[in-house]
Amino acid sequence: MNNIVILISGTGSNMAAIVKAARRGRWEARFGARVAAVISNRADAAGLEFAREQGIETAVVDHKGFASREAFDAALAAAIDRFQPALVALAGFMRILTPAFVAHFEGRLLNIHPSLLPAYAGLHTYQRALDDGCWFAGATVHRVTADLDHGPILAQAVVPVLPGDTAATLAARVLTQEHRIYPDAIARLLADKS
């Protein structure tokens, strides 16, 4: 079985989009793939409730319970390894991962980032794009490397910046595209494997 583990920190709408795409696209029949677990670093992440309702295993590894990034990442890696995943998808996961963690999951780690990388790596992407006067913004699916938001690009979507946009309205426009390109990129990777 090609297990997929999804890491979240909050709402989990990208995670939900992947779960729904897996069902609609019959990933189990076509690729032998399923979303095996959703893991959050925050116990109050809303996405955990959706995952439980779908009958998906959930786990919480709270970064605040660890003295160092290395210790947190080791516990997180152990929680993920239980599922022997073919893919680990960061979906609004908000903790920077150590080089050791990235090496352990090399070739299996993906992220969706709310900008047209390599523009606007890091946080506050919408406000930075607005402040710079960009006419376009977007989202990127990329492989995760130790170099934050700099891994190989697997998919991008471009959206216009519209008059009167705020960070919130731009984020909402970008997010609808994220829900399309992230499941599509994962399905392509699974198709390549099978």
**Residue 109: strand, helix, or coil:** strand
Residue 74 is a binding residue for ligand NHR (CB under 6 A): no
**Residue pair 47/56 in contact by the 8 Å Cβ criterion:** no
| Integer Cα distance of 88 and 3 in angstroms | 9
Residue 183 is a binding residue for ligand GAR (CB under 6 A): no
149 contacts which partner out of ligand NHR, ligand GAR, none, CB within 5 to 8 A by kind? ligand NHR
Task: Say how far residue 156 (Cα) sits from the centre of its chain.
Answer: 14
| Integer Cα distance of 52 and 19 in angstroms | 12
Burial, 6: exposed, middle or buried (Cβ in 10 Å; 0-12, 13-18, 19+)? buried
Q: By CB under 6 A, how many residues form the interface with ligand NHR?
A: 16
Residue 10 is a binding residue for ligand GAR (CB under 6 A): yes
**Residue 166: strand, helix, or coil:** coil
102 contacts which partner out of ligand NHR, ligand GAR, none, CB within 5 to 8 A by kind? ligand NHR
**Residue pair 138/159 in contact by the 8 Å Cβ criterion:** yes
**109-148 mask for ligand NHR (x: CB under 6 A)?**
--x-x--------xx--------------------x-x-x
Contacts with ligand GAR by CB under 6 A lie at 8, 10-14, 91-92, 94, 112-114, 139, 175, 178
Contacts with ligand NHR by CB under 6 A lie at 90, 93-97, 102, 111, 113, 122-123, 144, 146, 148-149, 151
